[in-house]
Amino acid sequence: MKEEQLLQNTIDFVKSELKNAEGGHDWFHIDRVYRTSQLLLKHENADGMVVLLAALLHDIADPKFHDGDEHIGPETAKKFLVSQGVEQETIDHVVLIIEHMSFKNSLDKNRASFSSKELEIVQDADRLDAIGAVGIARAFNYGGFKNRELYDPNVPPNLNMSKEEYKKSSAPTINHFYEKLLLLKDKMNTDTGKKLAQERHRFMELFLERFFKETGIQK
Ligand code: ADP
Ligand code: NI
């Protein structure tokens, strides 16, 4: 199959799988990660097909919305790629990327066994979508979806949460900036990703400054 056709089939598949997804993890998130991956590929030397397929399939079944099941996403992606007759080596690489993508997995030392330029690129593109203006929108959307408070001056951010605590936490959304989003710029892999992250990071800082000014909270 021609590469163009495979990408189009993948786009169609992902769009239909994510029809009812929550706003921060819907098709438009995938589309942004896909386009940012294309941008990063212009400056980084990597297997473009692996990057683009992984970008499209990386959130096909987020464990957060599947009772914590971490296998369903990689499995769904694999089945799809097999059905498209994609070569085994590409399938294996894309599946490994999906398995290793999330921030939580990267905190898990047992999972840190795989790395590749292609993983670095898709991970950067996904992280860039969690910061800046879009990142702010996604965080509050996710908090709303979980019925969280916007902020609560009596609940300070917890910077030392274990993986388990982080998963169970129902802290106000503003805390998420300190617990995760402001840390992302230093976790970028590629030079291009680092550059893009700086600007988005600065915008979040400005947002937080205004937020605390308007709410009259002393930090
Ligand atoms: P990843 O894409 O690394 O798997 P997540 O799926 O955890 O990241 O997060 C996806 C989006 O949901 C991000 O924009 C993130 O900021 C937001 N999000 C995740 N957890 C929270 C939370 N506790 N509060 C607010 N937003 C959250
Ligand atoms: Ni994602």
Whether 93 and 136 share a structural domain? no
- Helix pair angle (191-215, 117-128), 10° resolution: 20
Q: 174 and 73: one domain?
A: no
ipTM: 0.94
- Name residues whose C-beta falls within 8 Å of residue 116's C-beta, 6 or more positions apart in sequence: 93, 96, 97
Number of structural domains the chain divides into: 2
The answer on 136 and 70 residing in a single domain is: no
Flag whether 209 is in a domain: yes
Closest atom of ligand 1 to 139 CA is 26
Same domain, 103 and 139: no
Whether the CB-CB separation of 80 and 10 falls below 8 Å is answered with yes
Name which residue leads in pLDDT, 158 or 85: 85
Least confidently predicted of 98-102, 114-118, 175-179: 98-102
Q: Are residues 186 and 95 both part of a single domain?
A: no
DSSP reduced 3-state for 127: helix
2 shares a domain with 104: yes
What is the 30 CA–ligand 2 centroid distance (Å)? 7
Residues with CB under 5 A from ligand 2 (ion): 59, 126
Contact 139 CB / ligand 1 (< 6 Å): yes
Using the predicted structure, report yes or no on whether residue 72 has a pLDDT greater than 80. yes
Residue 198 maps to which CATH number? 1.20.58.1910
Q: What is the pLDDT of residue 16?
A: 95
- Does the beta carbon of 138 sit less than 6 angstroms from any atom of ligand 1? yes
For 167, the domain range is 130-219
Minimum mean pLDDT among 39-48, 115-124, 154-163, 171-180: which range?
Answer: 154-163
Tell me the CA–centroid distance for residue 139 and ligand 1, in Å: 6
CATH code assigned at 2: 1.10.472.50
Beta carbon of 73 within 6 Å of any ligand 1 atom: no
Inside any domain, residue 122: no
Give residue 213 CA to ligand 2 midpoint distance, Å: 31
Distance CA 39, CA 51 (A): 11
pLDDT of residue 23: 82
Residue 118 has pLDDT above 90, yes or no: yes
HSE-up of 156 (CA within 13 Å, CB side)? 5
Position 78 in a domain: yes
pLDDT for 70: 77
- The gap from C-alpha 24 to its chain's centroid, in whole angstroms, comes to 10
Identify whether the C-beta of residue 14 lies closer than 8 Å to the C-beta of residue 77. no
Same domain, 77 and 177: no
Say whether pLDDT at 217 is over 70. yes
Q: Check whether residue 145 and residue 96 sit in a common domain.
A: no
Q: Identify the residue whose C-alpha is closest to ligand 1 atom 23.
A: 176
* pLDDT > 70? residue 64: no
Q: How far is the C-alpha of 67 from the C-alpha of 72, rounded, in Å?
A: 10
Q: In this structure, are residues 200 and 177 in contact, taking their beta carbons and an 8 Å threshold? A: no
Whether pLDDT at 111 is above 80: no
Asked if 69 and 3 sit in the same domain, the reply is: yes
In a shared domain, residues 161 and 81: no
- The verdict on 185 and 218 lying in the same domain is yes
Quickly list DSSP for 186-202.
GG--SHHHHHHHHHHHH
Say how many Å lie between the CA of residue 82 and the centre of ligand 1.
Answer: 29
Written as one letter, the residue type at 13 is F
Which pLDDT band, with edges at 50, 70 and 90, does 134 fall under?
A: very high
What's the pTM? 0.91
Q: Relative to the CA of 64, which ligand 1 atom is closest?
A: 6
Average pLDDT, the chain: 91
